[in-house]
Structure 1
């Protein structure tokens, strides 16, 4: 029988977290991102924030405010505006932006960027912003095609004499038998389709579909009637298709306007070796002209009017937005007013600051007042010791680390004294030290040793000589 693993339904408790995967594990371990635990805003049906839900700890006011923004976006009443998240570093601004995109849907494009990304040496600042906006606008193309679908029961090429030569034979046609739950059908197909069948390495027992208009052949997988009892299998088994062999099938494809711009901006060239080498020598990033974008918009509008495609506005998240200059802010105003604008979420940790690119304009968060007027501003709050402890425990569970008695309290105290980010960063080096000492879980002494090896931002600043002296390359 197949070896099956049943995932545990209950979350691991404080001192019984899942162990990290062993080096001998055959499964590929994926990188744990800083916001892997964020699954949504964690709101009730009434729009109220549960204290600890969907990976969030606290931040009830900010989450409820973002919930209102999500409702505005879904009802198409957020056009021409932006959401501005303000708060101290490490208070969850990026997590809130990611949660908003989760609430909008799985297939909604999410395009994050940092304010300093616009200062590229290859393209203009405005081009970087325009490209990010286009990548955050999705296009869901729905196409109804006539297809022949089923399990291959027969695959017989028929040969005939080659009319162009007296020697050798050529394939005149191929007989393909397809079977579904409802019935069977025998198809007589063109020899070019037989070449596609050979290229896809299709054999009897595979489930395939053939497009009636184009003749394109796609192998879906192996029929599950041929499924074996091996624990490790390289084959993908699919059930026998339902309905008739000949059917109308709706295919859905998701692309972004940025993908369409890039595909049309790239010169096609020839297929010879010189054309290929020439394309390799060219710069990888080119600017897309406004004329080309207008042409793409015209084609997209035609698809939407015909009912073939649907525009799916996504989310552009610009972190450290105070790094943009006055020219970028002016261009952002114009982009927000465009007919096909995505949802724009900005984030900053600055108070009153000089607007970059000006000499005397001081504005809240370093953003000009005319753009601030378009923003709904949400503030994130700091965390107390209890909330820091809950976040640390959540991350320990995600990273598969076991915490010994008293460890959570000590890390929470360090987080309150320094910052929550520093507290979270203690987990990984402490787990290394506990492993070197031969322990299976992080103990209090591992945290103490980690604190001796590494400094937080406040401790580091306090240990620097006021005169900034160096002695033989060593800083005092």
Structure 2
């Protein structure tokens, strides 16, 4: 495992204990696509691993809906149709009630949120945005089986100032600005109905979003939450991707990057040079390498016992010790794979618990990678080459 410590000094996990720290896992082979460039896939995952916690103090009307009455008027264009002139809504809190007269456009937002009498909602005074929080817990015994989320009736006054906190990633902001919704023309409607095709987000758009994010951070409106980008099988990346990684890590908006690989000295993809773990030496110099050691017999037995418990397989201690020896001779992965067939053999012999004889029978049926390679080498004349 390799950990890049860029931004590590400014990341205090104690201060982010109550926040949603983004974690974005990916595999090195994911970057190869016929639709999107390799560097675009890397940058997209980079932005997914950077969170933004936005805090805003807004004036809101919050409470349980006690009345929802749309008032109709005659259509201004003539005919038999009627228009919604305004909406009368009643909100109730612990301290009191209030009746509001709302614009017809807010009624559309109420319909979209599926607001009904008995729901707890809040309406932003400035933008008119409506958010349904849930069903009031006074109606919790209304049904025997419920799929609703019940919330207590709000405290305080109906009209109040409230701190609204939103956790988003930079990729969410990129996607929202790259494909803005709306438009009533025929092309916009057709674009919404058609299956969306994966498209790239331009570097210019990302730079503009970064400017806005930095301004929000400077003003104290938002707080940056650097997450973790985990890249497995990093040896699958080529020299172009590694060069892009070097540049991306220099950015002020960068997550902690963890690289994982099981390769030794091998060729860096896209070049003729060899390097430890298939990673260019200039990038290796920037990494902190986590040393890993081979599992000992006791550790293997503990891991096998946990795995058997997870798979709900019963096995005695002698069998676990024998399986630990098999893992030492072959590999831990092979020993774990033998648990399921051994369980089947034990049940076929009328036992619920795996014994040593079951494991010995299974070991004779299945070969590990080393034994298979040795067998192929010894009998290579019997196979088609």
Conserved? CA contact 2:123–2:129, under 8 Å:
yes
Task: Tell me which residue corresponds to 1:236.
Answer: 149
Structure 2 residue 120 is matched with structure 1 residue 207: yes
Structure 2 residue 49 is matched with structure 1 residue 115: no
User: What do you get for the CA RMSD once the two structures are aligned?
Assistant: 3.5
1:463 partner SS: helix
Per the TM alignment, residue 296 of structure 1 is displaced from its structure 2 partner at its CA by: 1.7
Structure 2 residue 45 is matched with structure 1 residue 132: yes
With over 3 angstroms needed to count, the CA separation of the structure-2 counterparts of 1:412 and 1:280, relative to structure 1, is: farther
Task: Tell me which residue corresponds to 2:10.
Answer: 76
Structure 2 residue 55 is matched with structure 1 residue 142: yes
TM-score (normalizing by structure 1): 0.70
Distance 1:282 1:138 in 2: 28
2:242 partner SS: helix
1:317 partner SS: strand
Conserved? CA contact 1:405–1:444, under 8 Å:
no
Alpha-carbon displacement from aligned partner over 1:295-332 (angstroms, at most 9, x marks no partner): 22112222222222222211122222223233332222
Structure 2 residue 318 is matched with structure 1 residue 406: yes
Conserved? CA contact 2:136–2:150, under 8 Å:
yes
Per the TM alignment, residue 351 of structure 1 is displaced from its structure 2 partner at its CA by: 2.6
Task: Tell me which residue corresponds to 2:295.
Answer: 383
Distance 2:66 2:52 in 1: 38
Distance 1:159 1:116 in 2: 59
Q: Where in structure 2 are the equivalents of 1:287-436 lying within 5 Å? A: 287-359=200-272, 361-404=273-316, 406-432=318-344
Task: Tell me which residue corresponds to 1:151.
Answer: 64
Per the TM alignment, residue 434 of structure 1 is displaced from its structure 2 partner at its CA by: 5.1
With over 3 angstroms needed to count, the CA separation of the structure-2 counterparts of 1:248 and 1:403, relative to structure 1, is: farther
Conserved? CA contact 1:261–1:296, under 8 Å:
yes
Structure 2 residue 375 is matched with structure 1 residue 458: no
Per the TM alignment, residue 451 of structure 1 is displaced from its structure 2 partner at its CA by: 3.2
With over 3 angstroms needed to count, the CA separation of the structure-2 counterparts of 1:438 and 1:302, relative to structure 1, is: farther
- Which one is further off, 254-263 or 159-168? 159-168
Conserved? CA contact 2:51–2:225, under 8 Å:
yes
Q: Where in structure 2 are the equivalents of 1:26-175 lying within 5 Å? A: 75-76=9-10, 107-162=20-75, 164-165=77-78, 167=80, 170-175=83-88
Distance 2:19 2:354 in 1: 36
Per the TM alignment, residue 176 of structure 1 is displaced from its structure 2 partner at its CA by: 2.1
Distance 2:170 2:31 in 1: 19
Task: Tell me which residue corresponds to 1:176.
Answer: 89
Conserved? CA contact 1:74–1:104, under 8 Å:
no
- Which one is further off, 168-177 or 277-286? 277-286
TM-score (normalizing by structure 2): 0.84
Alpha-carbon displacement from aligned partner over 1:386-414 (angstroms, at most 9, x marks no partner): 11111122233334444345342233222
Alpha-carbon displacement from aligned partner over 1:46-69 (angstroms, at most 9, x marks no partner): xxxxxxxxxxxxxxxx9xx98xx9
Distance 2:176 2:242 in 1: 28
